[in-house]
Amino acid sequence: MHNRSQIEKRIASQEARKLKAREEKHHTIWFGLGMFGLIGWSVAIPAVIGALAGMWIDSRWPSRYSWSLMLLIGGITLGCFNAWKWLHKEGNVDR
């Protein structure tokens, strides 16, 4: 019973947030560009960090495998996952 009330509260808060977002129709082109930039940076930062860490590892311990490439791909994957989670949290993307 306790778990059910928590779920109901969570659903109610999500619904209230969605209704509030629908009421606010004053988004401008600048808002859209800001969102585009925010999503871009959430992918770019982990990708750059991964690439730099991989280049550092490659320069210290040369191996047959490219750590730069592996960590770049890992950073992009992590960044895309972060962006996806953020969009779902904000309610801008339906499942």
* Mean pLDDT across the chain: 82
Confidence (pLDDT) at 1: 58
Torsion of CA 84, 85, 87, 92, to 10 degrees: 110
Nearest to 68 by CA among 79, 56, 55: 55
CA atoms within 13 A on the CB side of 6: 3
Divide the 95 residues of the chain into consecutive groups of 10 and give the mean pLDDT of each group.
Answer: 77 82 68 74 93 95 93 95 82 49
Confidence (pLDDT) at 2: 66
**Are the C-beta atoms of 63 and 85 separated by less than 8 Å?**
no
Give me 38's structure tokens. 């925010």
CB atoms within 10 A of CB 40: 12
Confidence (pLDDT) at 80: 93
Confidence (pLDDT) at 38: 78
